[in-house]
Amino acid sequence: MNKVWSIALLVTLIIGVVSTSFGATTLHQLGRSPFFRPPLKNVADLRAMVATSGPALKKGFKRAGYPMLYPAFVEQFPTTKIEEIEIKKGEHLLWMLYRKNGKGPVRVAGDVTWDGPTSFQAFRFYLERNNQRFEIIVPYICGNLALRAITGIVPVARKIPVSKKNIPPTCQMAVTSKPVFCGEPVTVDASTSSDDDGSVSAVTISMLDGRGKMVEEKTITTPPFTGTLTVPCDGEYTVRVQVTDDQG
């Protein structure tokens, strides 16, 4: 009994392998075994064919050995760009779906070479899966969906901006040279301040008492960055200038 089951399992495995293997096919004519009738005239006809042929297409992808591509087809086909191209004599297709005499279950012809008397017109679109691009064509005359080529997709490296170190601005100031008395303004000039990697965006001038406590402060945001502070009537005071560049 064990021996019989082993033989049955071996036969099943062999059949499974053969079902996705194809011999070379030289195609001389289209339209005798169409996947779909009538012939496709425009993109709307192609979309209608796909809309009404879901189960057959799913089975076709499976029989061609690409069941994993069918979900991508369902997801991407509604929005994919569809082009019209010409397939010339001698061109090769990896596989093509068809129905014998246009009837019955979907079948697969593999390793197809077109050897007809003239070129034929077809729709073309692409599917993408796992960094691969699959070129699909569908001849107008028969709707025999075919896989023309598979190419790799090179991931585009995302550019990461490199932040440059901000160079602090240079602060330069001058105050009123003449004596200033209680309650009078003192002029603070920071117009010669600069920034090597940008520009000066603001200057803050402050009046501090002997303990470092701020008495008055002004922020100037437009050139020439000159302002006035009022001198209090008692004690000693310090004028402070802070320069901010355009990078903060």
Average pLDDT in the 5-15 region?
31
Q: Please, which residues have CB within 8 angstroms of residue 74's CB and are 6 or more apart in sequence?
A: 54
Q: In this structure, is residue 111 part of a structural domain?
A: yes
Give how far the C-alpha of residue 45 lies from the chain's centroid of Cα atoms, to the nearest Å: 30
Residues 205, 92 share a domain? no
Measured CA to CA, the distance from residue 69 to residue 238 in angstroms comes to 77
Q: Domain total for the chain?
A: 2
pLDDT digits (tens, 9 = 90+) for 51-61: 999 999 999 99
Residues 104, 66 share a domain? yes
Residues 33, 113 share a domain? yes
Domain around 118: 19-152
| Range scoring the smallest mean pLDDT among 4-8, 54-58, 203-207, 218-222 | 4-8
Residue 108: the pLDDT is 95
Whole-model pTM: value is: 0.57
Residues 121, 185 share a domain? no
User: Count of CB atoms within 10 A of residue 216's CB?
Assistant: 15
Average pLDDT in the 96-111 region?
94
Measured CA to CA, the distance from residue 153 to residue 132 in angstroms comes to 5
| Range scoring the smallest mean pLDDT among 7-16, 79-88, 145-154, 198-207 | 7-16
Residue 126: the pLDDT is 97
Please answer whether residues 166 and 207 qualify as being in contact, where contact means their C-beta atoms are separated by less than 8 angstroms. no
Order the strands of the 132-139 sheet from edge to edge.
25-27, 107-114, 92-98, 146-152, 132-139, 120-129, 83-87
Residue 212: the pLDDT is 78
Residue 169: the pLDDT is 84
Last residue within a domain, chosen from 89, 117, 152: 152
Q: In this structure, is residue 96 part of a structural domain?
A: yes
Residues 143, 41 share a domain? yes
Residues 133, 35 share a domain? yes
Residue 20: the pLDDT is 39
